[in-house]
Amino acid sequence: LPAGLSQWFPALEVLDVSGTGLTEMGTELLSLPCLHTLLAKNNRLGGPGSLPKGLGQAPLARSLRVLNLSGNRFSEVPPALLQLRGLRSLSLGGNRLHGIPPDIQELQSLEFLYLGGNFITAIPPELGNLPSLRYLVLCDNKIQSIPPQLAQLHSLRSLSLHNNLLTYLPREILNLVHLDELSLRGNPLVVRFVRDLTFNPPSLQELAGRTIKTRNVPYAPSDLPESLVRYLSLASNCPNPKCGGVYFDSCVRQIKFVDFCGKYRLPLMHYLCSPECSSPFSSASQSSTSQSESDSEDEASVAAHRMQKVLLG
């Protein structure tokens, strides 16, 4: 960036240096107290010293609302960006990112996050701690699963996950009550879920723990070692209403198909305590065909009105 920039334009609010071949942005950037939009797309930023030191402590950290660094060479999200607490829009698409730092949750004002076109393999649960996030773009990566904590993004309107490696979605995604658009095209979805679903027999400790929980055997913390008390507190309820059991480490992963908009069927993952447990929404008196239809009807009646667009192709 040219020297004296802050002297020439002390009230500068929008700066666009996209496509200029930049390899670094100098300290002049720190002296622009009114800058709220910085566009630096399609450059060569990403090496050591690409961003000025002290970025998180400069007046810019309070004024900047929109930052677009897409089409550069960042291999990780620069820690300095996580100190820009006033950011509402952050774009880092088309870089070389392999992950998302858990400290992304520090950007509490963030409404738009674009991380498409990278090499991201996993989503940290902390991403669900962004209360204002409305648009989340994670397309064209290598993501294999979605953490259930994303269901905490109650403000989310659009979730783009197309062209990843997803084989299922967590059931908790139904809690995204304001979601208008869900993009899933280009994922393998349930191509191999049948052969991947396995069940390991419960250990003796789990069997004992299940018995204590299902039979409501009374105990006090003073009766058991601390490790066992902690273990018993980790019991998860089986979602089958006809079962009433619990599980700890040993459970059956099962794909549940849910209809949206009367047209698309989404594969959602849920967990049962044993292979003998039937699907929570199926009935033994129904035929296999009616079971398949019934499996989706109850959930569709709750969720279909929540999704106006489900893009699978």
- The answer to whether residue 206 scores a pLDDT higher than 80 is yes
Residue 291 covered by a domain = no
Q: In total, how many domains does the chain have?
A: 1
Cβ atoms of 247 and 260 closer than 8 Å? no
Over residues 280-287, the mean pLDDT reads 34
Please report which confidence band the pLDDT of residue 312 belongs to, taking 50, 70 and 90 as the band edges.
very low
Please report which confidence band the pLDDT of residue 244 belongs to, taking 50, 70 and 90 as the band edges.
confident
Sequence-distant (6+) residues with CB within 8 A of 138 are 115, 116, 120, 123, 159, 160, 161, 164
Share of the chain above pLDDT 70, in %: 78
- The answer to whether residue 291 scores a pLDDT higher than 70 is no
The pLDDT assigned to 300 comes to 40
The pLDDT assigned to 296 comes to 37
Cβ atoms of 124 and 102 closer than 8 Å? yes
The pLDDT assigned to 280 comes to 42
- The answer to whether residue 264 scores a pLDDT higher than 60 is no
- The answer to whether residue 305 scores a pLDDT higher than 70 is no
Residue 121 covered by a domain = no
- The answer to whether residue 56 scores a pLDDT higher than 90 is no
- The answer to whether residue 290 scores a pLDDT higher than 80 is no
Please report which confidence band the pLDDT of residue 260 belongs to, taking 50, 70 and 90 as the band edges.
low
Residue 226 covered by a domain = yes
Angstrom distances, CA of residue 191 to CA of 167, 185, 188, 302: 7, 13, 6, 26
- CA dihedral sign, ordered 67, 72, 76, 80: negative
Residue 160 covered by a domain = no
Residue 225 covered by a domain = yes
CA-closest candidate to residue 146, choices 171, 163, 116, 180: 171
Over residues 85-109, the mean pLDDT reads 96
Please report which confidence band the pLDDT of residue 249 belongs to, taking 50, 70 and 90 as the band edges.
confident
Please report which confidence band the pLDDT of residue 7 belongs to, taking 50, 70 and 90 as the band edges.
low
Burial code of 101-137, b = ≥16 C-beta within 10 A, e = fewer? beebbbbeebbbbbbbbbebeebbebbbbbeebbbbb
Share of the chain above pLDDT 90, in %: 41
| Half-sphere exposure of residue 215: CA atoms within 13 angstroms, side-chain side | 8
* Token pair belonging to 166: 């997803």
> Is this prediction's pTM over 0.95?
no
What is the residue range of 235's domain? 201-258
User: 103-155 pLDDT, tens per residue?
Assistant: 999 999 999 999 999 999 999 999 999 999 999 999 999 999 999 999 999 99
> What's phi and psi for 133, nearest 5 deg?
-65, 125
Give the least confident one: 1-5, 9-13, 151-155, 282-286.
282-286
For residue 14, the surrounding DSSP H or E stretch is strand 14-16
Please report which confidence band the pLDDT of residue 95 belongs to, taking 50, 70 and 90 as the band edges.
very high
User: 14-53 pLDDT, tens per residue?
Assistant: 999 999 999 998 888 887 888 899 999 999 999 988 998 8
Residue 175 covered by a domain = no
